[in-house]
Structure 1
Amino acid sequence: MSLGRPEFVGHIEVRGLTKRFGSFTAVDHLDFEVRPGRITGFLGPNGSGKTTTLRMLLGLIRPTAGTATIDGHRYVEIDNPLTVVGSALEATNFHPGRTGRDHLRVQAAVAGVPDRRVDELLELVGIPAAARKRAGGYSMGMRQRLGLAAALLGDPKVIILDEPANGLDPEGIRWLRGFLRQLADEGRTLLISSHMLSEVEQTVDDVVIIANGERVAQGTVQELRGDPTAYVRTSDPERLADALTSRGLTVTPKGAGLRVTTEDLAVVGDAAHAADVAIHELRAEQTHLEELFFNLTESEEHRNRNLVGVSTADLPPPTGAPIDPALLVDAPQEDRR
């Protein structure tokens, strides 16, 4: 049966995904979903298993256990996958002596895509003037744009990008943000791995956070941020806390002041005025993705994962390293537990 592109809507599902390299567990029973029409940020500290997870999703390495599928199909089961899934895991996977246009033409030929699509994409990602220059002389930002063009060659429904904003200047990052939003608005599924938390916060709809190969959080940015709060510093915290509590607000101490579960600063001011309490400071607060990220991952990073005796051969290959063909062989049965 053909698994051609028309059958796909772009739903990514990862269930119980596990990858062991010898005695080292890079990804540990990972579960998450990525929905069409949304941008999902895939976040985690260096070495948390993000790239290994993406490689398993793209069929570059086989999982020890679990599944990573697109609309229920593994990547290797999809006919002409470049027309279903576009990816850019690294900004260095091109021949330095080949021009940017020729790099795309080679990939287009593999996917059965006409050359005119190459020129359209070079224009779309903003590097038509550099198309006939050798890619080895590209800046990091130009390489990122070339990688994005390559990911879009087959007009895929699913787009997977690893650190796409690396090397882009502020103008380029702003362009990328709008470009990704346009792709999501077209109904495509976008999964983006990144460590640029402030930028991710302005770009993504949903977030998956992992640490030590395990999922520690998943949800919309707003869900993970929690309810908006206000911070108030006053001459009489106890009296103000009573006044705010009597109005049905939740109040907790924070430093020299109080944290109040409301986004309406006027309510806090009115309560202080009615209680005849002076306010020294009053401001709205919002948990930022960066704060949330470190709160969630620091405890995981401090877990005692005993790596004594693990050889470098057990560790996953670094980003940019070639994949060992041996890793494509099914894991031994003792590693499947």
Structure 2
Amino acid sequence: MTTATAEGARVEIQSLTKRFGDFTAVDDLTFTVEPGRITGFLGPNGAGKTTTLRMLLGLVRPTSGTATIGGRTYQHIPHPITTVGAALEATSFHPGRSGRDHLRVLAATAGIPTSRVDEMLELTGIPAAASKRAGGYSMGMRQRLGLAAALLGDPSVLVLDEPANGLDPEGIRWLRGFMRHLAGTGKTILVSSHMLQEVEQTVDDVVIITNGRLVRAGRMADLHGTTTSLVRTSDPERLAGALRVADLTSQPAGDGVLTVESADLRAIGDVALRAGVPVWELRQQTSDLEDLFFALTEGTNRNLGDGASAPPPDGSRTPVPSAPVEGGGR
């Protein structure tokens, strides 16, 4: 059995299933999250993402299968706050307590020095607001406070649910760089998000689920499929003929544009030059994450079908620990 280390720990989801009565929220789900990498966890609303994360953190009991961190279930990690930090909600704090006091309570409960509180406030960019009541924080400030709490124990694994919600563009850029820095130190990062364009710029690996089942998983760089090229010209028919002679397949895309089944821009440009056809635009193109996401999930959202409502993702039929989640404690 492997154990968590300061350099990161592998998160393993194996045949994980959760049923609420007749409703299957998560269905035989299997994937891994590797140390030193950021993994994006994606799916439509109601796909089972939050239920999966809550099972990983010991807040919901699986019907079958396992969810482990460094080879152990959350309940069997000796000092979880130093192994896994999680931010599942941006409201898990007393509204009348200051941000600094919120972190002090968590630190005292876990035996963490108070000095670490101010370090995390500085690191997440909220020292000026630390003395203000957390109930008056903006959504973006709440997200930063949740992240500060998740990092209190310097955990090797971070589990973040929609961490960019409420952040302004500057905050989103900061978060992207911050997660990249943490992954660079060897930490394992699993992040659930609906912001597909931001995910595409941030993550190394992607896991996409729908209706509780895995539909695609792999490295971000490998999920786009074959790279094609776009070429715009005044005479697309003539260029298409010249490309055929050169064993390059193309398809018309309107407005003088051809989509060529090749990533070799030099070869396409040479063909156009030999054919005497002017080129107005020539570039590679790949399907982006948004295209892939909707191709895999469009029309599959069970919550949009017959109007039936699914059980709440927090698994209200299972007792949930009362201590804050984001600090990694139970």
Q: TM-score over 0.5 for the alignment?
A: yes
Give the corresponding residue for 2:285. Answer: 285
Superposition pairs of residues 173-322 of structure 1, within 5 angstroms: 173-234=172-233, 237=236, 240-247=239-246, 249=248, 251-256=249-254, 257-279=257-279, 281-301=281-301, 315-318=310-313
Q: Assess if the C-alpha contact under 8 Å between 2:20 and 2:315 holds in 1.
A: no
The alignment of Structure 1 onto Structure 2 pairs a total of residues equal to: 319
Contact 2:87 2:146 in 1 (8 A): yes
1:71, distance to aligned residue in structure 2 (A): 2.0
CA-to-aligned-CA distance 1:238-295 (integer Å, 9 cap, x gap): 653453355454x242533432233443321221222344546533312211111111
Instruction: Kindly state the Cα deviation for residue 298 of structure 1 after the two structures are TM-superposed.
Output: 1.0
Query: What amino acid sits opposite 1:105 in the alignment?
Result: R
The 10-residue stretch of structure 1 (80-89 or 271-280) with the greater mean CA deviation from structure 2: 271-280
- C-alpha change, 1:154 and 1:270, in structure 2 (3 Å) is same
When structure 1 is superposed on structure 2, of 25-34 and 6-15 the one drifting more is: 6-15
Contiguous gaps of at least 5 residues in structure 2: 322-330
CA contact (8 A) 2:3 2:72 kept: no
After TM superposition, give the deviation of residue 87 of structure 1 in Å: 0.2
* Structure 2 counterpart of 1:128: 127
Alpha-carbon distance between aligned partners in 2 of 1:43 and 1:4, rounded to the nearest angstrom: 27
- SS in structure 1 at match of 2:298: helix
> What whole-Å deviation, never above 9, does each CA across 1:28-87 have from its counterpart, x for those lacking one?
111111000001111111111111110011110011111111122111110111110000
User: Which amino acid is the alignment partner of residue 274 of structure 1?
Assistant: R
**Residue 245 to residue 215, structure 1, CA distance change in 2 (3 Å):** farther
User: TM-score, with normalisation over the residues of structure 2?
Assistant: 0.88
Identity %, equivalent residues: 63
Whole-angstrom CA distance in 2 between matches of 1:306 and 1:131: 45
Q: Which runs of 5+ in 1 are unaligned?
A: 329-337
Cα shift at 1:142: 0.5
Matches of 1:242 and 1:10 in 2, distance apart? 55
Give the match's secondary structure for 1:202. Answer: helix
Q: Which moved more, 1:286-295 or 1:95-104?
A: 286-295
The Cα shift of 1:220 comes to: 1.4
AA in 1 matched with 2:268: V
> Using the alignment, how far apart are the partners of 1:148 and 1:59 within structure 2?
19
User: What is the distance in 1 between the residues matched to 2:27 and 2:279?
Assistant: 49
Aligned-partner Cα distance in 2 for 1:12–1:67: 11
